[in-house]
Structure formats: structure tokens, C-alpha cells
A and B are shown apart, each in its own frame.
Chain A
Amino acid sequence: MVALATAFKPAATGASLDVKGVSHAFDIDGSVLPVLDDVSISVASGEFVALLGPSGCGKSTLLRLVAGLEPPRAGTLDEDGVAITGPYPSRVVVFQDPTLFPWRTVWDNVALGLEAQGVLKTQRHRVDAAIDLVGLGAFRKAYPHQLSGGMAQRVALARALVNDPRILVLDEPLGKLDSLTRITMQAELVSLWQRNGFTALLVTHDVEEALFLANRVIVFSDRPARVTADITVDRPYPRHRGDPHLAELRRQILRLLGLDATW
């Protein structure tokens, strides 16, 4: 229990994230599709926050704004108090599809960020370390088409972690994995987060996953997404799936999502 308590304390290397009054919309064939409606979220340094919401409500869009891939129509996003104006490797995204570059080996995929930043020559050991971290040391020279879905997602995770991100943005990274691989990788994510101390922002459609991983669970409405609940999960790590407190929180969240009738 002592270990659990210390593990709960987030490390200090993560950046804080402030989403203030962010609204966003897409133009589709001349009509405007509102996607985010005045979303405000404040994530403390080293916190693990899960975003839950109905499919298509705008979660991925919010993550793209956090990553700096698009500017918001209204509102501001700050990393450690500094406005986010574009992508930067301190905020790395792991997408739902691993999106590995098929023409690169596992090693070269993981090395992508360091290569793009021009520091690969002096930092090669970090690539090896990241690959070992996700347990794919034997597959350095494999090409993506030779990997299983779970292995590919691990490579994507290593590709993100090698940059030592201060905010790790995860967009349903485990959504397409089989349930056994998913459970393994959830545990790995927790230990990686505890070890590295980054701030984590995880989109998931799996309530249990959110409760197993996150300090806080933020629930969104249907599109356009608004924050409908911000639930603190005040349980130590590693968590147990049978924890009655988590079961109660799950009931609560499912009710917020309008799914309580099925449970």
C-alpha cells in the first residue's frame, strides 16, 4: 500500500495543459458543423486525464487542437502557460491507427522524431531504449507489415515515448486491439506513465479503461462536445478491475452517457 501511495504522486516533468473556452467547427459543403462547444479543461502537470464521449462528438478534434495540428475557431490552448500555435514534439500523439511508415523498419519508425529534430546521430541509444521499453527488441529490423496489431501499436507508443514528451496524447490507442492485449497494454501504460512522469490525455470509448488508467475522467456530450462531467478517480495504482468504488463510478458515468438502462 505504501508503494501504491507513492506511485499515485505524479512526477514533475509533465507539462500542464489549459484548454480555455475552445470552440471548433468544420465547413462541410458550405454548411457549418459545430464540433466543440466552449470546452474548458485544465490538466495539471503529470496528471492522467481520460476523455469519454459518444462516437463522433469531437474528441479526436480536441486532441488535434492540443497537438497543434489545427488552430481552434475560438478559445485558447496553453501548454505550461504558453499558447499552443503549432505541433511540437513535447506534445506527441499516438493515434488510433498505429500509422507506422510502412517503408521504415521498426527501428527507423521509432527513430522518426529524433531524425526529424536532427538529433538522431547523438541519440541513437534512446531509440534502442524505447524499443526495449515496449518489449520489441527482437523486431528492430522488421517492417510494419510483419507485425501484429498489438505490436504495431507498441511501436507507435515507442515512437512517441522516445521524444520524452511532456504531454502524451493518446487517441483510442488500444481501441482496435483484442481484449487480452488491451489489458496488458493498459497496465504497461500505467507503469510507463508512473515511471516517466508525463502528463497524459487519453481518449477512449471504454469506461473501464478510463477508470483503470486515469486520475480524472471527463465526460463529453453529443456533438458539439461540451463537458458534462469531470470525475476524479481517487484510487491508488495499480488498480483492480473488481474494485467496488470503480464499479460505482462506472455506473455513474454510464448514466451520464445515457447507457444506464443496459446495466
Chain B
Amino acid sequence: MPTYSASEISSLGGDRETALIAGDGGLQFVNKLRFSITGIGAGLAWLAFGLSCLRWPDIGDWPRTEAVAYTAFAIAGGIAIATTAQAALGKFGDGVQRRAPWLFALGVFLTLWELATAKFGWLPLPFFPPPQSIVEVYTDDLPKLLDSAFASVKLQLGGYFIGAVVGFLTGVSIGWSRLAGYWVHPILRFIGPLPATAWLPIAFFTFPSAWSASTFLIALATGFPVTVLTWSGVASVSTAYYDVARTLGAKPSFLVTKVAIPAALPHVFVGLFMGLGASFAVLVVAEMIGVKAGLGFYLQWAQGWASYNNMYAALIVMSLLCSGAITLLFKVRDRLLVWQKGVVKW
């Protein structure tokens, strides 16, 4: 429904038609304004969150309550404007509009959480910190948290990369060569199913540093699923493809790199996803037990001080990082496997 009340809004450069109709460029912009129920609802939910912060006094000592409230108001306003002017804002407007129901749910959740913790204490306090105390971690303890996140990413990347490469090469060789299969398969069956964390005590003694031990364990956790799935991918390539390539003059190296590996790639990615999940678990445990850095260590340290807000803050960062890593892997997969139809969207 067009709203004409905002006709003062400056011109965005009206086209010929608007000029003919009204001679007023602003009308074109105004014509694009649409109130969206979900957008207004989401704005109201965030408004409620902000108000809930200010309406009642905190039952504890949290310096960021007001800042959180004003941020909530800003977000509420942002949502309302972005959804109303959706058509004029292009992609950004569409994005906010599409997420409006979720933004609404989030606003409601935050309001309830605020009331249940900071205001009325329905949830037992040290274990369920209010939103503003988690925000406080991000504003006041940011350097330490960033350091920890950086350390985790570094450790994870190194171990995952080594594990993925070694696993891939091992998988290809045992899938391709009978001899490699003969020697590697029993070892794989014996060691592979063992949870990588079972190696922790030994690894921390035998490796020169906790960092190298953890890298090894992460690589191990990644390597096993990657190996097995690469192997099964290579082994299940239809012989018809090899026949075609051979009659066209392909040599064995061509059959491996241009037939077996591309054909096995969908399997390889399943292995890479499984390896990613397994390696996250090892990373956190290794950081909690041996490495004196990283988000796992931060969690452990926060627990020692019973500062649950720090733990939740670290958990949120951890979840964003893990989810980001998986998103990245999906992106890589979608690029490499464009030829597949109906790939799962993450």
C-alpha cells in the first residue's frame, strides 16, 4: 500500500513516467514503500527487548544494560526501515525481509531471556547470565577472546589441512593400487575407528610440544573419514569410464587424475565434512587438556572462575567459527561439483 505522507523524501532521480505523472521524483521512492507485517513485528519484538532492559532494575551488577537497550532500539528501527523500504534497498532489503520472522523470534527470545535472568531471576543466576553480561564479554574481554579464536583457527587449519591431504592421497592410493591396499587396509582398520582423543595422553608425552601433538590428533581425526570415503569413491568408479578413457588413449596417470579422482570427488567431500566434525571435537578437547591457548582453553579457564558469561560468549564464537568453516567447505564443494544436480544447500 503506497504511503504519500513522506513526500518530502529527497528525489532518487525520477524517470520519465514519474515526471509525467507528478513532476515529483520523490513520489517514485515513496511508491516503493510497503509496510510489512513481519518486518513491523520484528521491529516491535526488538523494541520490547530494549524496553525490557530499561523498564525494571537489574538484580545484579551489569554495566552494559543501557548500551544493550539502545542497541536493541537501533536494531528495531533498522529492521522497520529496511523492511518498509525493502524495494528501494535492493538485495539488502530483501535479505532483511526474508529473515524478518527469524528476527521476530530472536527479539521475543531475547526479551524473555532478559526478563527471566536480569530482571526477575526465574533462572538460577550464575549459570544463566543475562544478554548484557555476555555482551560485556565482547566489549571488555575482546582481545583475549580474539587471541583464543585465532589460536583455535590456526591449530584447526593446520591439522585439518594435513589430515585432509594425507587422507586423500592415502585413499586414492589404496583405491587404485592393490599393493597399497594390501598394506594400508589392515592398518586403517586397526587404527582408524579408534577415537582420536584416545591418543591424547600418549600424544602429549611423545610429541615435542602440545601444539604438534594436537595438530597430529586433529589430522588423525580428519584423515580417517577422508581416507575411507576417498577410497570407497575411487573403488566405486564405474569401469565403463576407464574403458572409455583407455580406448581414447589414456595412460594410467590420466586414469587416476582425470577419471578416478573427479569421479570420486563427491565421496571425498562427504569424508571432508565428516572429518571436519570429528576434528572440531578433538580440537576442543586438546585445547582443554593440553594446549594453553584457543577457545577450548578459554572455556576451561572461564569455568575455573565460574564466569559463565565468558563461557557462553566463547561458545557463540566457537559456533560461528565451526559453522563458518562448514559454510566455506560447502562453497568449495559447490564450486567443484557444479556438474552435480541437486546438491544439498547448507
Binding site for B on A (CB under 8 A): 64, 67-69, 87-89, 91-93, 95, 97, 99, 101-105, 112-113, 115-117, 143-145, 159, 163
Question: Which of the segments B111-119, B135-143, B236-244 contacts the partner chain?
Answer: B236-244
Interfacial chain A residues near B258, Cβ < 8 Å? 115-116
A91 touches B259 (CB 8 A): no
B243 touches A69 (CB 8 A): yes
> What CA separation (Å) do A28 and B216 show in the bound complex?
46
Question: Which of the segments B84-92, B187-195, B249-257 contacts the partner chain?
Answer: B249-257
Add 6 more A-B contacts to A68-B247, A103-B263, A112-B250 (CB < 8 A).
A99-B238, A99-B244, A101-B241, A105-B339, A116-B258, A145-B339
**Closest Cβ of chain A: how far from B233's Cβ, in Å?**
12
B248 touches A95 (CB 8 A): no
Count the A-B residue pairs with Cβ separation under 8 angstroms: how many? 71
Asked whether any CB of chain A lies closer than 8 Å to the CB of B341, the reply is: yes
B248 CB contact (under 8 Å) in A97, A143, A163: A163
Tell whether A93 pairs with B247 under 8 Å between CB atoms, given A99-B241, A115-B258, A143-B339: yes
Some 30 contacts from A to B, beta carbons below 8 A apart, are A64-B243, A67-B243, A67-B247, A69-B243, A87-B246, A89-B249, A92-B247, A93-B243, A95-B240, A95-B243, A97-B240, A99-B240, A99-B241, A99-B244, A101-B262, A101-B263, A102-B339, A103-B262, A103-B263, A112-B245, A113-B248, A116-B248, A116-B250, A116-B251, A116-B258, A144-B339, A145-B340, A145-B341, A159-B244, A163-B248
User: Chain A CB within 10 Å — which of B243, B244, B265 has the most?
Assistant: B244
> What CA separation (Å) do A102 and B339 show in the bound complex?
6
**Closest Cβ of chain A: how far from B334's Cβ, in Å?**
13
Interfacial chain B residues near A102, Cβ < 8 Å? 339-340
4 A-B pairs with least C-beta separation = A113-B248, A89-B249, A116-B250, A117-B249
> What CA separation (Å) do A200 and B251 show in the bound complex?
25
> What CA separation (Å) do A247 and B241 show in the bound complex?
39
> What CA separation (Å) do A210 and B338 show in the bound complex?
40
A116 touches B240 (CB 8 A): no
Interfacial chain B residues near A103, Cβ < 8 Å? 262-263, 265, 337, 339
Interfacial chain A residues near B250, Cβ < 8 Å? 112, 116
B265 touches A116 (CB 8 A): no
A163 CB contact (under 8 Å) in B249, B263, B339: B249
Binding site for A on B (CB under 8 A): 238, 240-241, 243-251, 254, 258-259, 262-263, 265, 337-341
Interfacial chain A residues near B254, Cβ < 8 Å? 115-116
Interfacial chain B residues near A117, Cβ < 8 Å? 248-249
User: Chain B CB within 10 Å — which of A64, A117, A144 has the most?
Assistant: A117
**Closest Cβ of chain B: how far from A132's Cβ, in Å?**
20
**Closest Cβ of chain B: how far from A175's Cβ, in Å?**
15
B249 touches A113 (CB 8 A): yes
Interfacial chain A residues near B341, Cβ < 8 Å? 145
> What CA separation (Å) do A93 and B263 show in the bound complex?
21
B249 CB contact (under 8 Å) in A88, A93, A143, A144: A88
> What CA separation (Å) do A93 and B242 show in the bound complex?
12
Residue of B nearest to A69 (CB): B243
Interfacial chain B residues near A92, Cβ < 8 Å? 247-248
